Every structure is written in C-alpha cells, then in structure tokens.
Amino acid sequence: MSETRPFDDIRHLISTMPSADVAAGEHVRSILSDFPGPAPVLGALEAELIWLATWQKRMVPQISRPLIAVFAGTHGVAGSVMDGDYLKIARRRVDGLTQKKAAVRGIAGNMNAAFKVYEMGVEHPVPDFREEETLSERDCAAAIAFGMEVVAEGADIIALGSAGTGSATAAAAIAMGLYGGTADYWAGAHNHQASARIKAVEQALAVHDLSGADPLTYLRYFGGRDIAGLVGAIIAARHQSIPIILDGFVVCTAAAIIHAIDPAGIEHCRAGSITSEPAHEALLDRMALKPIHEFGVSLGDGTGAGLSMQILQSAAAGLETLTV
C-alpha cells in the first residue's frame, strides 16, 4: 500500500472541484436580453453577472455578504531585498490594515463588506529560499488548510488581497518556475529594490533544480504560509460555490499554481485590476484572465479587487430591478 502524502488531499480537492451552474448563467442572459431598450443594458458587466450567477449557482446573483480577505506572511528573502528591519516593516503594514489605516478598509466599509486579515506568521518568517525550501510538504499543506477557513465567514463573494513582506519576490520565483523566462522578466520592479529582487530569484532557481516539478513543489520551495493560504482560500471557495476576485501579483500567483495543475480550477475567479507590478499583466495573460477594471492601483492588498467588487455589487443590484 502506497503512503499517503500531505499534498495528496490538496490534489484531490483540485481534481474534484464542482462545475458551474450553466442554467443559472443562461437565466441571467435571458433576463438581460428580454429587457426592452438599447442593449447591452449593463454593458461589459453583463458577462461578469453571468459569471457571478454560474458560480454562486443563483438564478439572480447578488452580493449581500461580501468579504475582503487579506493574507499576510513574511519571507526570509526580504532581508536581502528590503531596506531596514523587514520584520518591523511587516508588522507596520499589517497594523495599518487592522487599525483601518488603509484605503481598502474604507472601501470595505462603504460596501458593507466584512474585512479580515489572515496573519500567517508575520513575526516568524519562512527561511530564505536561496538557502533552503521555505516549507516542508506537511507545513505547506497545513497553511493551505488554514487558508480554507476563509469560507467560514459565510461570504457570497470574496476579494483576496496580500500584505506579505517579501511575498512579491517569492511570487516571482514561483512564476519563473511555472512558466520559465528570466528573473528580470518576473522580478523586475519600478523601484530601487529591482536589482536585489532579480538577483534573489536568479539565485533561488540556481540553487534548487526543480525543472518540471509539480506546481505545489514550487509553492513549498519558494512560497510561504501566506501564498499557501491563498491557494487554500481559492480551492475552498470553489467547493462552497463562492466566486473569487483576485487582487495583485502575489494573489494571482497563488491562482497560477492551481491553474498549472488544472486550468479549469480557477474558472470561479476573476482578476480585479492590474497593479503596477510589471509582471502582473503577464501572469494574467498566462491564465487568460482579464481584469474587471484597470484602475492603476499600485497595491495588491485588496484595494483594486474591492473596487471591482463594489462595481459588480452595483451591477447585481441593477440586474435585480429587471426581475421585478
């Protein structure tokens, strides 16, 4: 009898993801097409409402219990990439979110969305991925399982954000592992940290020979608890019929891991917007995802996804009036 490994359950959950409710989507399409007047009634958002219905599995979709969930973790590689004490930087960033000193908190409040920060060892960074794997298979699976708890909030749609420190560098290493290319393509940044990030990713891929590895292997070698938690959130949401709006390069990298295992595994996901992270658009292209809106928001902490979710919430309310 073969031994069961921690990732076996994760792979099983991905391989058994439920499909969309096509009938719900067609019902929304018929509502929109039957409305008298110039078409399309709600423009490009009609396609998003059909998508929302198919994954909520509701004949008339609604956004009455939205959630913005932000995952935060710290990566040891940040010590070689960031200026100053990266642990203090990590703590300050999370404190800003929890103390409502962030734009995303105002957005959440304005649309009556629940807001939660999932701290994944902020004061306890995973190892520097240039020296060793960041997580054991068991610890990585445990972090994925922790991220699955996001569905316990009872949301009908979730916007995912990231407030990790060193997470973008880790995401760049994962993306390069998944798709190939060069470190400057995936790790380039519009700031003075670019060269350090590029060098760190080059070193990581040189130290660990993972050519052709399983996508979850890239996650545990280069990712951290926060990115693993995001993977878990995406998987669990699919099994609970909760659509996901992705925000930022780090969050989209978590989706890319699932997509690399099964491209259909992220069909319940939409990209909220494109951030200023240079490789973000390239990553979306690999997954055939187009943003709901292009706000030019620089952060990936849920701000862009929250704004897109608010637009979608308004569109759903508009659709509901057509059924009266």
Q: What is the 3-state secondary structure (H, E, C) of 119-132?
A: ECCCCCCECCCCCC
Q: How far apart are CA 105 and CA 84, in angstroms?
A: 26
Q: How far apart are CA 39 and CA 144, in angstroms?
A: 43
The helix or strand, by DSSP H or E, that contains position 1, with its residue range, turns out to be none
**71 phi and psi, to 5 degrees?**
-105, 130
SS3 call for 70? strand
Terminal alpha carbon distance of the chain = 59
Distance of CA 127 to the CA centre of its chain: 22
CB neighbour list of residue 279: distance below 8 Å, 6 or more residues apart: 172, 175, 185, 186, 187, 188, 249
**Residue 165 contacts residue 253 (beta carbons within 8 Å):** no
Residue at 4: amino acid letter: T
CB neighbour list of residue 309: distance below 8 Å, 6 or more residues apart: 63, 66, 68, 111, 113, 157, 159, 245, 272
pLDDT of residue 297: 83
Instruction: Average pLDDT across each block of 10 residues of the chain; the chain has 324 residues. List them in order.
Output: 81 96 96 84 93 96 97 93 88 91 93 95 94 95 97 96 94 95 84 82 90 92 97 98 96 98 97 88 95 85 94 94 79
pLDDT of residue 189: 67
pLDDT of residue 324: 66
Number of Cβ within a 10 Å radius of residue 43? 10
pLDDT of residue 192: 62
Q: How far apart are CA 82 and CA 118, in angstroms?
A: 22
Residue 24 structure tokens: 């719900």
Residue 205 structure tokens: 């891929």
CB neighbour list of residue 254: distance below 8 Å, 6 or more residues apart: 160, 227, 228, 230, 231, 234
CA atoms within 13 A on the CB side of 127: 13
Residues 287, 293, 298, 300: is their CA dihedral positive or negative? negative
- What does the angle CA 274 – CA 276 – CA 282 come to, to the nearest 5 degrees? 60
> Strands, E, within 126-216: which ranges?
157-162
Q: Which CATH class is domain 64-315?
A: alpha beta
Residue at 303: amino acid letter: T
DSSP 8-state symbol, 3: P
